[in-house]
Every structure is written in C-alpha cells, then in structure tokens.
C-alpha cells in the first residue's frame, strides 16, 4: 500500500507526489481495463458454454425421444407377434380338436343324407313327412358346409396346390352373391387384369372370397348399400413392407372386399378371426368364416388385413403371393364332369355312403354294383373276374380292408383299375398304394369331380393298348 510521503511541504515534493499519483492512476486504469476485458471475456465464455450446453441438452432430449419411440414400436411389434402366436396356437388346438370330430361326423352325415334322400323318394309328396324330410336334408346340407369349413381350417381337408386362374373364381362368387342378396344391396366387381394366377386350390380360394362376401352381404342386409369386390396386382412399396410384417418383396394378388354396412366395433375387431367367434344370433353364424379364410390365406403365404369403422363399413384386404411365369390353367367350371358306361364295383361298409356313391356314379352313366361287405365283394369278383371294368373301394372295412381286397383282386387280374378311398386317420400312404399297383387313391369325403376325373383317367389308361401276354 502506497503511503503518502512524510512531508509534502515543498512544491517539489508535492509535484513529485502528484506525478507518482498520476502514474499510479494510469496503472490502476490499465488494471481496470484488463479486468473489465477479462470479465467480459469470461461472461462471453460463460454465455457460449451455456448455449452449447443447451444445444447438447436438446440433442440428448431428441435422442431420448427417438429411443423411447423405438422401444415403444419394438414393444408393440413384439406384443403383436406374441398375440399372433397365441392366436395361432389357439387356432391350431381348436382345429385339431374340431377336425377330429368333424372327420367322423362327416361319415355319419353322409349316411343321414343318403337315407333322407331315399326316404323322400319313398313317401308321396303330399305326405306330411315329406316336408319334414326336406327340412332334415336342408339342415344336413348346412351341417355338411360346416364340417367342410372345420376340415379346411383344421387342415385335414387335403388340398393340392396348383396354379389357379383367379378371375373366373371371383366372378363365380360374384354371381352367387348376386343371386342371394336382396336388391337393396348393390354388388360391384372390378379387376385390373384377367390373367392373375396364384398357387392354391380353386375351392379354397372360392371359400375365402365367398366367406368375406357373405359377411359383407350380412353387414348390408338391414339398410342396403354397396358391396365392392376388386382384384389387382400389387408390387409392395417400402411403406407397405413396413406396415405389414408378413409381406415380402414380391408381387401379390390383392383382393378387396368392401362394404358400406354396419362396420365392426373396435372392441370386437381383435376377436373376429378367432374360430367360433360370432356376433350373429344362434343358428345364423358359426364364427368360422374368417378363421377359415385367414388359415387358407396364411397357408398360401399371404394374409388378411381389415379396416373398419362402426356405422360406416368394413374393408377386408386379402394378399396372396402371385405365381409368376405359369401357364394360366383352364378354369374348372368350363369342363363338364366326365362320365362313362363301364361297369364299376363299389364297396364301402357304410350303407349311406354306398347309396350316395351308387346314385352319383349311375348319374354319370356307369353301371354300378355296390356292396357293403368286402368279403362278399371278393367272392363276387372271384366268381367272374372280368365282370367289372373298375373297382372303387373304401379302405377301412371290418374283416378285409380295402387295400387287402385290392391286393387279392389284382393278384387275380393284375390290370384291373382299382381306386381306393381312405380317411385321413387311416394310415395308408401313397407308397403303399403305388406298391400295391392301384390306379389312384382319394381322401374322403368324395368330391364328385375329383372322383369322376380319376375314375375316367384310370379307365382310359387301362383301355390303352397293352403289351402282348407273356411279352
Ligand atoms: N363385413 C363385416 N361387417 C361387419 N362385421 C363383420 C364383417 N365381417 C365379419 N364381421 C364380424 O366378425 C364376426 C366373425 O365373422 P365370421 O365370418 O368368422 O363368422 P360369422 O359370419 O359370424 O359366422 P360364419 O361362420 O357363418 O361365417 C361376425 O360375426 C361379425 O361380427
Ligand atoms: Mg361369416
């Protein structure tokens, strides 16, 4: 600390002191300027740091948000796939259970139908029982449809996948819907091209579109409106691939079945594909339509997506992989079911089935002898091995099985065409059938066209010129 000089009584001393103080003040001012500058610098530095920190904070915040969104999306995805898995497991279980029952039920049903048909012919039309029998038959046919649904969806109905031309099948559905809906429902149908082909089964594709179409028609029944069915070919865009986890980068057939009907309650929407879920009154709906459609679509590598708004309507989008580079096949509906005049021996231990098959085969022009006992059939055959041109045998019969009966017949007459019918639970393999020298084998229930075509093919093959005996 500077202290003033002891004596400032002389002017020199005063001047010297003044100069000293001036120098001192300059120093102080310099110091002050430096300090001010330093303080300004540090404020600036502080502000700069603050702003950098704020920016960093914002970045962190947005990073955190992104991360949260990502976790949320991933969790949602996981939850969805878990729900889907649970759903599939439930469907599979119900399918296995229902399929087992449906299969046996089918045979019983065929017998009931067979007998009811015979009884209707036995009683005169004016008899009161005639109408009741008609009602029995109608109920049976509904039960038959139901069994067919259950078998398809439990995958017990064997379906062979082959190239299927789509447009004639959709047209057929549209025709059937038009015939069944009230005039207050307008049905529209559109497509972008007629040559789309998928790998599948025509009956199943028909089922998918028919089930969706029937639901749409039901949704429109009360207030009328528009039912729109359209098909087109789509190449998935990136947005589609992100939206539908099941979608692959390949062309799809897109079938849209849309209605302006009652719509679906958001609370109900997650359940509609569950087997046996229905909002329809008892006797009106079984709740299998969508479960069947979905199981078929997924088996083909496709999927069904639904959008709906209560009171406005619903849109069901079916996506099925397009089959490329295949020849468009001849649509089934255009070729008649083949028949003939040959003699056929039919053996099945179910009398109801025997009557059904007899009616079906004679309807195709064949001469039919039908028996319920395999032993009796063998005796008849051995008595005159050339009496028949073809044998159609059920496999599961008491005593002598169909396969064994076939083997015995073929031992006697090796070129006899034999067609075997088996149930899914019968453990007959294609190898066994081929090894035994059979012409063909079929799963029950017997589909008329399929059976008729294979009988005709077997007969034609047997009629081809054969090698000389002993050659
Ligand atoms: N287009 C639609 N509009 C409104 N509701 C629909 C539509 N399609 C399906 N649903 C709802 O989904 C439920 C399940 O449909 P699904 O086809 O599986 O069974 P169902 O039609 O009730 O019976 P069925 O086995 O005879 O088809 C229906 O009961 C209905 O509530
Ligand atoms: Mg339905």
Nearest to 216 by CA among 230, 205, 204: 230
Q: Does any ligand 1 atom lie closer than 6 A to the CB of residue 227? A: no
Minimum CA distance residue for ligand 1 atom 10? 215
Distance 311 CA to ligand 2 centre (A): 18
Task: Report pLDDT digits (tens) over 253-296.
Answer: 999 999 999 999 999 999 999 888 999 988 788 888 999 899 89
Question: What's the confidence (pLDDT) of residue 198?
Answer: 94
Distance 290 CA to ligand 1 centre (A): 7
What mean pLDDT is predicted for residues 368-385? 94
Minimum CA distance residue for ligand 1 atom 1? 216
CA 284 to chain CA centroid, nearest Å: 22
Atom of ligand 1 nearest to the CA of 287: 19
pTM: 0.52
Task: Report pLDDT digits (tens) over 84-100.
Answer: 788 777 777 777 777 77
Task: Report pLDDT digits (tens) over 200-225.
Answer: 988 789 889 999 999 999 999 999 99
Q: How far apart are the first and last CA of the chain?
A: 140
Mutate to test the pocket of ligand 1, among 214, 268, 272, 304 (most ligand atoms within 8 A of CB): 272
């Amino acid at each position: 600390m500077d202290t003033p000089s002891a004596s400032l009584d002389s002017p020199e001393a005063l001047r010297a002191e003044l100069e000293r103080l001036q120098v001192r003040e300059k120093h102080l001012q310099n110091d002050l300027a430096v300090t001010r500058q330093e303080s300004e610098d540090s404020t600036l530095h502080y502000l700069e740091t603050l702003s950098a920190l704020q920016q960093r904070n914002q970045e962190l915040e947005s990073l955190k948000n992104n991360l949260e969104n990502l976790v949320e999306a991933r969790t949602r995805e996981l939850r969805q796939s878990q729900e889907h898995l649970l759903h599939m497991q439930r469907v599979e279980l119900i399918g296995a259970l229902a399929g087992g029952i449906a299969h046996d039920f089918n045979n019983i049903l065929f017998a009931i139908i067979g007998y009811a048909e015979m009884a209707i012919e036995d009683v005169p039309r004016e008899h009161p029982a005639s109408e009741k029998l008609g009602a029995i038959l109608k109920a049976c046919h509904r039960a038959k449809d139901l069994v067919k649904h259950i078998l398809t969806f439990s995958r017990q109905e064997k379906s062979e996948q082959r190239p299927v031309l789509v447009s004639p099948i959709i047209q057929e559905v549209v025709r059937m819907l038009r015939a069944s809906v009230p005039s207050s429902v307008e049905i529209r149908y559109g497509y972008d091209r007629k040559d789309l082909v998928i790998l599948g089964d025509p009956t199943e594709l028909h089922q998918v579109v028919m089930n969706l179409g029937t639901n749409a028609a039901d949704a429109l029944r009360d207030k009328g409106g528009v039912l729109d069915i359209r098909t087109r070919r789509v190449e998935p865009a990136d947005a589609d691939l992100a939206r539908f986890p099941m979608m692959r980068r390949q062309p799809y057939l897109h079938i849209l079945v849309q209605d302006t009907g009652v719509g679906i309650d958001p609370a109900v929407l997650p359940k509609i594909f569950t087997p046996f879920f229905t909002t329809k009154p008892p006797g009106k709906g079984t709740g299998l339509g969508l479960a069947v459609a979905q199981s078929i679509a997924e088996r083909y590598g496709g999927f069904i997506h639904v959008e709906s708004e209560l009171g406005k309507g619903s849109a069901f989008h079916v996506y099925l992989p397009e089959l490329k580079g295949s020849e468009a096949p001849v649509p089934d509906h255009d070729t008649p079911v083949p028949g003939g005049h040959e003699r056929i021996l039919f053996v099945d231990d179910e009398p109801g089935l025997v009557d059904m098959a007899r009616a079906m085969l004679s309807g195709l022009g064949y001469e039919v002898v039908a028996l319920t006992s395999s032993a009796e059939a063998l005796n008849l055959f051995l008595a005159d091995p050339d009496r028949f041109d073809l044998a159609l045998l059920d496999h599961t019969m008491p005593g002598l099985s169909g396969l064994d009966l076939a083997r015995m017949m073929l031992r006697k007459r090796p070129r006899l065409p034999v067609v075997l019918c088996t149930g899914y639970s019968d453990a007959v393999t294609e190898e066994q059938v081929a090894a035994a020298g059979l012409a063909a084998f079929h799963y029950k229930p017997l589909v008329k066209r399929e059976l008729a075509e294979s009988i005709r093919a077997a007969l034609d093959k047997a009629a081809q010129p054969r090698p000389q005996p002993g050659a």
